[in-house]
Amino acid sequence: MTQIVDPYVPEARTVRHRPTQAELRALTAAMPTARRTAYDNYNVQTKVVARSTESTFIVTDQPESTSSQTISAAEGRRVAQLQEEHLRERDVLIIDGYIGNDPDFRCPARLVMDRAWANVAGMQDHLLFQDQTVGEDFIPWFTVVYTPGLAAPGYPKDRLIAVDLESGITRVLNSDYFGESKKGLLRMWNKLVYERGGLALHAGCKVVPVAGTERTLLIVGLSGTGKTTTTFTRQNDSKPVQDDFVALMPGGLVYGTENGCFAKTYALSAEEEPTIHAAVTSPIAYLENVSQAEVDGPVDFFDESYTQNGRAVFPMSALGWFKDAREAPPVSALLILNRNDAIIPAVARLSVEQAATYFMLGETKGTAAGGAAEAGRSLRVPGTNPFFPLLHAQQGNRFRELHQSGGFEAFLLNTGSVGGDEKDPRAKKVRIACSSAVVKAIAEGTITWERDPDFGYEVATAVPGVDDLELLQPRLLYQRQGRMAEHQAVVERLRRERREYLEGFPGLDPRLLTALDQI
């Protein structure tokens, strides 16, 4: 990583350093797109409702160093100058803090935000860790410069997220979606973790007490596939550690990143997810694009007429219970989420090679979090991490190394359905209660297993709390319904597509391809 000597501060009309949450709330309340809710928090409607993947570019003159799309360093400088000129006529907020709270691993970070979109600054302030070292001599390693009111002609939808890994600066033009701030910092942190010998995982983390000890579980998954839900459901008085990103290091050590949570709110239920629901409806939370009929009125978490990608940000303290990442033991188990609607079982146990392979495949159903182009589509995203800025083969190879050094178990979990999608009357949904029982059984080691004849991983023959064997072995559902020809066609298609997909990553450890043949 390039050593940052001079912290970035724009030549703006006014600059307000490190405003308090009270100030940020007052500025948010004054936004024309903000409405106070019945919970005394504020709900902002944005123009952009999801990540802008098609508008995100790495700034480099070495495009072979990344699997992402790129622009040249010269173009990066042109964009920077365009943004600098724009900021001279704007009022700016600066938010400082740390990614992570371990003194030996944390990373100083900064958000430079146009004050007219103060909610983004308030949300980022909830996620960064703060302490007395955030003073006048604070030098951020990573900075996001955010100008929602500045268009980027010539780029998709006149929008641009320019990621300059060498300077440590990401520039966001013409997006008011908070996720670009959060991911802008974490994307650069991904590179730092890799350089330190670890791997940044798009994962939640929880600690589950079992028989007088504690087991640390990582939940890897694409946004909207149940990562946060799985992290926050309780088993044996478990405690969440992290909602979205962790650093996995040799020996199974884990470092956290954020002091809060960026939760998806669509279909949020007080009955099924009481902890998240209580935090989202607390006065301290910021809401984004949640359906609301009137000012000071309630919100409707089930109304998707504007977007399914409603969001909320709250500090971990709003949960009332959580575990500091510095107190979490090394990883015991890693769960790879796959929101599927066909033949993936509710849980499967993976060998080292299989775990690296399924991690690299990153199979799931896309959700509104990735934009309209991804919602509802079958996707493959290496590591289920759309924000890794280097070569994807590096993710798969590093994961295998870390899995071997950590000695933890790995599992594949389906958070969707078996036998068809939600509109198919023959299908069975893998409900939150089922997934929670699976997580509890993984932590306690109470699942019995047998080898799957199609893919070679182990499928469950019994899970305490799950009384439907067809969720555990979808082949039985297809057999009962006389659909084995359809089942076999899916098996053959997946084998073919998976091999073709992995062969598209030069430098990938060939043992990951070999794992596809372990049947």
Q: What is the pLDDT of residues 387-399, one digit of tens each?
A: 999 999 999 999 9
The per-residue pLDDT for range 324-366, each reduced to its tens digit, is 999 999 999 999 999 999 999 999 999 999 999 999 999 987 5
| Edge-to-edge strand ranges of the sheet holding 34-36 | 34-36, 42-44, 286-288, 311-315, 260-264
| Edge-to-edge strand ranges of the sheet holding 246-248 | 199-201, 246-248, 254-255
Q: How confident is the model at residue 321 (pLDDT cuts 50, 70, 90)?
A: confident
Beta strands in 72-116 (DSSP E): 91-99, 107-114
Alpha carbon distance 92, 88 (integer Å): 9
Q: What is the CA angle 513-343-222, rounded to 5? A: 70
Confidence at residue 158, expressed as pLDDT on a 0 to 100 scale: 98
Three-state DSSP class for residue 296: coil
The stretches of 233-376 forming alpha helices (DSSP H) are: 274-280, 352-361
Q: What is the CA angle 347-349-353, rounded to 5? A: 135
Alpha carbon distance 276, 492 (integer Å): 40
Alpha carbon distance 217, 203 (integer Å): 10
Confidence at residue 31, expressed as pLDDT on a 0 to 100 scale: 98
The per-residue pLDDT for range 143-174, each reduced to its tens digit, is 999 999 999 999 999 999 999 999 999 999 99
Q: How confident is the model at residue 127 (pLDDT cuts 50, 70, 90)?
A: very high
pLDDT at residue 123 tops 50: yes
Alpha carbon distance 165, 382 (integer Å): 20
Q: What is the CA angle 375-180-21, rounded to 5? A: 120
Alpha carbon distance 477, 328 (integer Å): 39
Rounded to 5 degrees, what are φ and ψ at 516?
A: -65, -20
Alpha carbon distance 234, 257 (integer Å): 21
pTM: 0.93
Percent of the chain scored above 70 by pLDDT? 96
Tokens of 242: 């992290």
pLDDT at residue 135 tops 90: no
The per-residue pLDDT for range 25-52, each reduced to its tens digit, is 999 999 999 999 999 999 999 999 999 9
Cα distances (Å, whole numbers) of residue 125 to 108, 184, 238:
13, 14, 26
Nearest partner of 514 among 344, 357, 359, 336, judged by Cα: 357
The answer to whether 474 and 430 have CB atoms below 8 angstroms apart is: no
Confidence at residue 454, expressed as pLDDT on a 0 to 100 scale: 94
Nearest partner of 224 among 401, 370, 35, judged by Cα: 370
pLDDT at residue 367 tops 80: no
Confidence at residue 230, expressed as pLDDT on a 0 to 100 scale: 93
Half-sphere exposure of 308 (CA within 13 A, CB side): 14
Q: How many CB atoms lie within 10 A of CB 20?
A: 9
For the chain, list the domains and their CATH numbers: 14-30+52-176 (3.40.449.10), 200-256+328-517 (3.90.228.20), 260-319 (2.170.8.10)
pLDDT at residue 107 tops 50: yes
Nearest partner of 145 among 111, 122, 118, judged by Cα: 111
The answer to whether 275 and 234 have CB atoms below 8 angstroms apart is: yes
Three-state DSSP class for residue 216: strand
pLDDT at residue 518 tops 80: no
| Residue 429 DSSP class | E
Mean pLDDT, all residues of the chain: 93
Q: How far apart are the first and last CA of the chain?
A: 42
More confident residue, 370 or 59: 59
Confidence at residue 3, expressed as pLDDT on a 0 to 100 scale: 52
Average pLDDT over residues 417-429: 93
Confidence at residue 377, expressed as pLDDT on a 0 to 100 scale: 64
The two beta strands, 160-164 and 107-114, are unpaired
